[in-house]
Structure 1
Amino acid sequence: MECSHRHAKFNFKSKFQNFDVGWRFNKDSLSDAKSSNFDDSQWRILDLPHDWSIEDLLEQIPGKTTGPFSIESGGPRNGMSNGHTVGGTGWYRKKFALNTEDRNKQVALYFEGAYTETDVWVNGQYVGNHKYGYTSFYFDITPFCHQNSDSNVVAVRVKNFGENSRWYSGSGIYRHVKLVVTNPTFIGPWSVYITTPIVSETEAWVQVSAELTNKSGQEQKGLIKIKLWDADNRVVADAETEVTIPKELDTNCTQSLKVNTPKLWSIENPNLYVAEVSVWLNGKNVDATQANFGIRTIGFSSKNGFQLNGKALELKGGCVHHDNGILGAAAYDRVEERKVELLKSHGFNAVRSSHYPPSEKFLEACDRLGMLVIDESFDMWQLPKNKDDYHQYFDSYWESDVTSIVKRDRNHPSVILWSIGNEIEERADSSGIEITKKLIETIKQLDSTRLITEAVNEFWDHPGRKWEMTAPAFELLDVCGYNYQWWQYEPDHQQFPNRIMVGTESVPKHAFENWQLVEKHPYVIGDFVWTAMDYLGESGLGHAGYETDNQEQLKPWPWFNAYCGDIDLIGNKKPQSYYHDVLWRISPVEMAVHAPLAEGCTEIVSYWGWPDEQQSWTWPGHEGELFDVNVYSRASKVVLQLNGKTIDEKPVSDSTRFTASFKVRYQPGELKALAYNQDKLLGEVSFKTATRPAKLKLIVDRPTINADGKDLAFVSVEVQDVEGCRVPDAAIPLVFSAYGAGEILAVGNANPSEMASFKQPKCKTFQGSCLVIIRSKKGRGNISLKVIGAGLEPASISIDVR
């Protein structure tokens, strides 16, 4: 949604009114809560965004319920798909008044996202329904508002029932809501479209199109004014044109503006501009909107690969679900921004929003921080993956949902590809081919500047079909998405030399093969690992265990976390990410130690998993035992030392998958790996043995947060020994308390199978760490967070709230 408070004199705050605050909520299947006279005085008061599925269940029954988890959740695959969380029906109600200056204007209610089926009433009158839980939508509520009254009531019912998702979805109004108030002649949501058809170092032509709506009842003649602002608040181009807007019709107005010596948007320098579009009637500014955009070029070819601003760029990609770990699906602004910060700091330059559009704030952070995005639409079309999923609505709603996605997101410079689906069952059938054509045609009409892809898998869902039968589907796509099929790249290129390929999904254990092919062949433009970050649901997808364990794809209660990410549930780096650092040439050398296996047992790693390696040399009770140590490097050789003495040295190369494996008898001290090219030291990494837990270290992501009642601070808690080394095997219960200008919003660790409340101020550390999320209150001051644990020195930290 185009809105910003920068630059313009127009009152954007009046047009785009924050509607998140002061809702009353009740989780119950009521029938009369839509009535404007319904008594909701005993309901809970909360602010959006809100996800009730991450909150503690009312009944906590040992062995059956823990925090938000229920062994009787009833979700797909015995609750494993949704992480044993609970849906249901939730009601939200809010009273609002139209300001005197807003009466007799157009009023719309804008929802960025609610999961899943949403019904809206205003003053007891039914307004409309929305089916898809991941797309933004809005309703014109003008006819239902009491224009000359101080009290209007909106009631929203959100239902999340049945088997409708393959992962944790969350429940409720989990993204922002806005009240949009305009004059009768206005620019509606998503109605500004910005392209940069001509770009060079010396100049760029920016084309701005605005769709104008006229509900005044008469023809209007006026001016459309456009200003382009750079990051330094300078107007770099402006234009105006006369326009005639017929009554009760939409009119499109397009202008081209030249920007001299433009600052291009790139992942290293994500320069942004702002377009301000205003409507003037009879010399009066009756409406305006703003949209951020970037000036950049993108290109794709089998010969040159992907190019950003004419320079080749390999996509170091990861697939990302929408949930925010211990916060559930609630899309707080800061957590969406932090997610992008984490991805970028761990080496990713691209994400795939699997398998639906991300939040607006996530895309804004990608624009601002320099992260490329494949913006995906659907996980299914007409054929189901679960009996109650979106397939039952696809035929009726796909066009409006695709329109919502593309119109909302098309101005983001971070978005480089549209994806029309993931592992669609009918992808190569005649029905699927026709759907593909319709989807592509619709998207191209809305945005002609980006190419289209789809994530295509082998025919495990159609036994007996061969890979070659994907050809009709791939023929329609601009960029062909391959899920887990790296061995098909080269033979397919022989048959289809102009085909552009991308690994839309891959597993960590095949990271070497995938990245070798990306670096070798320009027609393979990148690789997107499943997944970049751990997520709720698909419980235990990335597990490692013993051959005697249940070898089902997902793990039963009490697992709730997929555990297949490069980054864990609270933002810490996982072992496979260190290997990616070497493959992606970010780090010269990394090391991992395999945890000891029980005698006589063999480790079994799931297809999406990684061996039970750790960045640790703390293994009390295992003195003298042999440990497997892997050193990862692109150097010509690595040397392994224990307590200053060389144990061994080994060559590394692509023939060893950039891995040198050693057997080392455990002895406390320092384990060090050194990487050399010939005799030149390229880098080193070491692990020191930690002694017993002695103290806590608190690390806050930002020392100062906003006093708006919405901003978040993320405090990492680390158990350390007396020397300040993290104790990686520490599993210590901690208790938290916050005082002053903030409150504890969530607490948790990264353990995928240790269920607990995320709302209670207590948590056991996992691998020596956990996370506390603090939310500011309204009003300046300080937040003091205190942490205590048995046998540890208490710790505290102060956060400034301004």
Structure 2
Amino acid sequence: MIRESFDQHWYVRKDDGSSGDNSVGPVTLPYDAMLFEKRDPDSKNGGNTGFYPGGVYRYSKSFTAPEDWRDRTVVVEFEGVYHRSQVLVNGRLAGGRPSGYALFHVVLDDFLEFGAENTIEVVADNSDEPNSRWYTGSGIYRPVHLMVGERVFITPTGVRVTSRSHSDSTAIVSVETSIVNGLASERTVTVAVEVTDPNGVALEPVTGELSVPARGTAVLRQEVSIVDAALWSPETPRMHEVQVSVIDGAQTIDLAREEFGIRTVTADARNGLRINGKSVKLRGTAIHHDHGVIGAHTLYAAEDRRVRILKEAGFNAIRSAHNPASRALLRACDRHGILVMDELTDAWLLPKVKYDYSQQFEQWWERDLEAMIANDFNHPSVIMYSIGNEISETVTPRGVAINRLIAKKTRELDPTRLTTNSVNGFLNLIASRDDAKIAKKAEAAQTGEENPNKNLIRVLNLLIGVLDRMLEHIVRLPAVDRRTREIYAEVDVAGYNYMVGRYELDARLHPQRVIVGSETRAAHTAVIWRKIASLPHVIGDFAWTGWDYIGEAGIAVKQYGTTKRAIYHPYPALLAGEPVIDITGFRQTQSYLDEIGWHLSRGPHIAVEPVNHSGEKVMSTGWRATNSIASWSWEGCEGRPATVEVYADAVRVELQLNGHTVGSALSGPDKGYLSRFTLPYQRGQLTAIAYAEDGSEVGRRTLHSAGTGIRLTVQPESTSLRADGADLAYIPVSITDDAGTLRPLADRSVTVVVEGAATLLGLGSAEPITTEGFAGNTHRTFNGRALAVIRADHQPGLVDITVTADGCEPVKRQLSVV
């Protein structure tokens, strides 16, 4: 089918009960309507979404259906609409989907007026608050496509490529093509498969015939032999392309193209995870789907940037938490060689928040699983499916049966990938094993009573965040094994959420079990890695989280002051405050420690706890180990005690200030790669030197105090954009001295004005507690930094950007859209 973007010229209106016209448009999709809401301290979503409210949103578009469509098939493909969507064509219900993450298709044939103007309206009902534990976005936040084809056509996700085998010289791939016949009589067609290698060289086509029954579907499998095949792996992510043509007589009536990678995936307790027969340990992170200052807008440029930054920071795997990944994310992972655990859902029968997926699970899980696997199938980056996250009802007979059913269905749909279930042993320990009680709780939630499961989640997060040592002992109890082993018996890989304490124990109890740390604390990555590296049956872990996110507001924030806070912070908390990479893509201290712990770098890395808060009480959280930043610019703090952290894979580190030795300390793995020094703050140069056992220098790092002047430093990451309405330019803004050295205590509001062939999509900072949002053109910096994101229009031209702030000279930058 001819596939084209259907993203332009939409209008968006919120059903808010008012009589006035509040429509916005024309807008280009994706368009996350939640991002443009005003944050509300009284929002029913509370901190789950960073106090962003939901609502009912109507997206509408007019288009012409040519007369020649009358004898063709017309389909609209939605990559994701949040949520409870209905699609109306000329006022008649044509389709929709309850899930906000599922790929779905709507056939328009019976609803169109040919040779005339038609209207499509998508209603996204996100008013059932709360329905998620994190920021979801609202409305059509992923791309939409229009597909037009003949009555005999390849189904929209109907080309599936499987690597059947490979050797040093030859690879065999299987191409399955699903073809629909919408005609009243059987049709026999020729199917031609042509593979192009990563260098653009086309192989000899393979052809076959297929008879497709009237009003039916048929599938043809064809094998292609590829000599000297270039394999896909995290180190060498080489992609092939397959073109499938459907030929009727002498006419090509349909054509589809898919990218794929040639690779195999296996896992066993003796050899661990192997990609193409080579052992791989997962240096993974869980991520939510929002993109910080641009909310849930799902654009390839955003996904590609995040994946690239994660890879540069040392990660080689992503867990899509806790929902199916976007097509754009998977494309980026394919390109950069990042492995993916894709996850079906956060809830089965019992809700974690009042209106979550538990309301849809029994009716929709199978179709949503099918949609996830259809979306993932040709992406070599996807190596594993998680069928649930911390599902406490898996301790019950019914939960065990559901787990078996979903695992079996997953393998039927895709036998080439691994399956897991991300289980929290502590939750299973304290959960009820009584199916009747579970059913009663689920019914209570369905009838609108208070969520009966939320206290379990709050207790769990408290234990993980604060009482982690106690939790480590609890999960070793024999009862945890009894309440999880039936679940793990049905999946290929046992997903352990916060059960590092069982890694060695279960190697003895279950010697054939393969384990993945499906969720571990980011603050402990370097320590946990020492275990992972020594245990072949543990294939890696996924830190929570490697990229900060909107929602679960304040859970990882280390806040100064004496006011006691709950595990979730009240308004105006906005972000979780996770410690690895902030929402702007800036690497924090924990990221450099992780890199050292993985033995990808020896350091040293220097970071300093904020000297302006020296001596203040800190409300600690186990999710974040430190607030330190890589700066020695603390104006007005002269003489106050400064805590300096030096991270290094070395025997010893030395700290110097202005050329004079301040002190020396042991370092290395037994010290957690961390040495701390306390000294009075004094301007100048702070240098850390790391030494090996033989006294040789491993490396050194210097921080310079800011000098004279205060200015805006504006550094676009790109200067040219594609005129496709989807390309993005990321523009970091910082407050610096005249030489470009950051001033973290000089925070102020910055204003960004964009004119020309692009628009400002989002502006914000990594400040986790703020009353601000991201949709305006003014925002206060945090630790001297902010980020603006510019979205290209569809017409070529120039983009003029002006950045201003009090006390600073305006800065102008120009980009081009081509």
Q: Tell me if both proteins adopt one fold, taking TM over 0.5 as the criterion.
A: yes
Give the letter for the 2:426 counterpart.
F
1:103 to 54, 64, 70: 70
Task: Say if 2:212 is the partner of 1:248.
Answer: no
What does residue 467 of structure 1 align with?
480
Within a 5 Å distance, the mapping from 1:351-370 to structure 2 comes to 351-370=318-337
1:237·1:257 contact (CA, 8 Å) conserved in 2? no
Decide which moves more: 518-527 or 693-702: 693-702
The 3-state SS of whatever aligns with 1:70 is coil
Tell me how far 1:582 sits from its aligned partner.
1.0
Decide whether aligned partners of structure 1 residues 94 and 31 sit closer, same or farther in structure 2, where only a CA change above 3 A counts: farther
1:501 to 515, 518, 522: 515
Q: Report Cα offsets for 1:3-28 as digits up to 9, x if no partner.
A: xxxxxxxxx6xx11311111121101
Decide whether aligned partners of structure 1 residues 667 and 602 sit closer, same or farther in structure 2, where only a CA change above 3 A counts: same
Decide which moves more: 430-439 or 611-620: 611-620
1:158 to 116, 124, 135: 124
1:72 to 37, 42, 46: 42
Q: Report Cα offsets for 1:575-619 as digits up to 9, x if no partner.
A: 211211211223212122222486765433212223221211122
1:753 to 760, 763, 769: 769
Tell me how far 1:44 sits from its aligned partner.
3.2
What does residue 156 of structure 2 align with?
189
Q: Report Cα offsets for 1:540-561 as digits up to 9, x if no partner.
A: 1111135733231111111111
Within a 5 Å distance, the mapping from 1:90-239 to structure 2 comes to 90-146=57-113, 148-160=114-126, 161-239=128-206
1:530·1:565 contact (CA, 8 Å) conserved in 2? no
Task: Say if 2:35 is the partner of 1:21.
Answer: no
The 3-state SS of whatever aligns with 2:654 is strand
1:25·1:90 contact (CA, 8 Å) conserved in 2? yes
2:526·2:598 contact (CA, 8 Å) conserved in 1? no
Tell me how far 1:43 sits from its aligned partner.
5.6
1:693·1:792 contact (CA, 8 Å) conserved in 2? no
Decide which moves more: 526-535 or 339-348: 339-348
Decide which moves more: 607-616 or 198-207: 607-616
Tell me how far 1:375 sits from its aligned partner.
0.7
Tell me how far 1:396 sits from its aligned partner.
0.6
1:485 to 487, 499, 508: 499
2:653 to 629, 638, 642: 638
Decide whether aligned partners of structure 1 residues 597 and 128 sit closer, same or farther in structure 2, where only a CA change above 3 A counts: same
What does residue 677 of structure 2 align with?
662
Task: Say if 2:544 is the partner of 1:530.
Answer: yes
Task: Say if 2:576 is the partner of 1:566.
Answer: no
Task: Say if 2:31 is the partner of 1:50.
Answer: yes
* TM, length-normalised to structure 1: 0.93
What does residue 664 of structure 2 align with?
649
Decide which moves more: 402-411 or 646-655: 646-655
Give the letter for the 1:526 counterpart.
G
Decide which moves more: 705-714 or 445-454: 705-714
What does residue 394 of structure 1 align with?
361
- 2:216 and 2:87 mapped to 1: Cα distance? 26
1:582 to 564, 578, 596: 596
- 2:502 and 2:538 mapped to 1: Cα distance? 11
Q: Report Cα offsets for 1:319-368 as digits up to 9, x if no partner.
A: 01001111111112211211211211221111000001111111111111
Give the letter for the 1:750 counterpart.
A
Tell me how far 1:452 sits from its aligned partner.
0.1
- 2:189 and 2:810 mapped to 1: Cα distance? 67
What does residue 712 of structure 2 align with?
696
4+ aligned runs moved over 6 Å, structure 1? 39-42
Q: Report Cα offsets for 1:738-771 as digits up to 9, x if no partner.
A: 2332222221111111222422222221111111
- 2:129 and 2:380 mapped to 1: Cα distance? 37
Tell me how far 1:280 sits from its aligned partner.
1.0
Within a 5 Å distance, the mapping from 1:690-729 to structure 2 comes to 690-691=706-707, 693-729=709-745
Decide which moves more: 496-505 or 459-468: 459-468
Q: Report Cα offsets for 1:638-692 as digits up to 9, x if no partner.
A: 1111111112222223221122222222111111111111222111112111135
Give the letter for the 2:798 counterpart.
N
Decide whether aligned partners of structure 1 residues 751 and 547 sit closer, same or farther in structure 2, where only a CA change above 3 A counts: closer
Give the letter for the 2:35 counterpart.
I
Give the letter for the 1:53 counterpart.
M
- 1:111 and 1:777 mapped to 2: Cα distance? 21
Identity %: 34
Q: Report Cα offsets for 1:101-133 as digits up to 9, x if no partner.
A: 433211112110000100111122211231111
- 1:40 and 1:125 mapped to 2: Cα distance? 23
Structure with the bigger percentage of helix: 2
Q: Report Cα offsets for 1:512-559 as digits up to 9, x if no partner.
A: 331111111111111211111111110011111357332311111111
1:603 to 618, 621, 628: 618
Tell me how far 1:82 sits from its aligned partner.
1.4
- 1:126 and 1:735 mapped to 2: Cα distance? 44
Give the letter for the 2:550 counterpart.
L
What does residue 61 of structure 1 align with?
none
The 3-state SS of whatever aligns with 2:328 is helix
The 3-state SS of whatever aligns with 2:306 is helix
Decide whether aligned partners of structure 1 residues 604 and 494 sit closer, same or farther in structure 2, where only a CA change above 3 A counts: farther
Q: Report Cα offsets for 1:285-313 as digits up to 9, x if no partner.
A: 11111111001122212112212222212
The 3-state SS of whatever aligns with 1:113 is coil
Tell me how far 1:501 sits from its aligned partner.
0.9
Give the letter for the 1:662 counterpart.
F
- 1:693 and 1:586 mapped to 2: Cα distance? 37
1:642·1:672 contact (CA, 8 Å) conserved in 2? yes
2:87·2:122 contact (CA, 8 Å) conserved in 1? yes
Decide which moves more: 397-406 or 191-200: 191-200
- 1:593 and 1:43 mapped to 2: Cα distance? 46
What does residue 521 of structure 1 align with?
535
- 1:464 and 1:124 mapped to 2: Cα distance? 47
* TM, length-normalised to structure 2: 0.91
Tell me how far 1:382 sits from its aligned partner.
1.2
Structure 2: runs of 5 or more not aligned = 433-478
- 1:372 and 1:175 mapped to 2: Cα distance? 22
Task: Say if 2:815 is the partner of 1:799.
Answer: yes
2:135·2:551 contact (CA, 8 Å) conserved in 1? yes
1:763 to 772, 775, 779: 779
1:543·1:610 contact (CA, 8 Å) conserved in 2? no
What does residue 62 of structure 1 align with?
none
The 3-state SS of whatever aligns with 1:758 is coil
2:629 to 602, 614, 617: 614
1:508·1:610 contact (CA, 8 Å) conserved in 2? no
The 3-state SS of whatever aligns with 1:460 is helix
The 3-state SS of whatever aligns with 1:81 is helix
Tell me how far 1:31 sits from its aligned partner.
13
Give the letter for the 1:658 counterpart.
Y
Tell me how far 1:726 sits from its aligned partner.
1.2
Task: Say if 2:627 is the partner of 1:627.
Answer: no
2:428·2:480 contact (CA, 8 Å) conserved in 1? no
Structure 1: runs of 5 or more not aligned = 1-11, 33-38, 58-67
The 3-state SS of whatever aligns with 2:311 is helix
Give the letter for the 2:796 counterpart.
R
Within a 5 Å distance, the mapping from 1:375-454 to structure 2 comes to 375-454=342-421
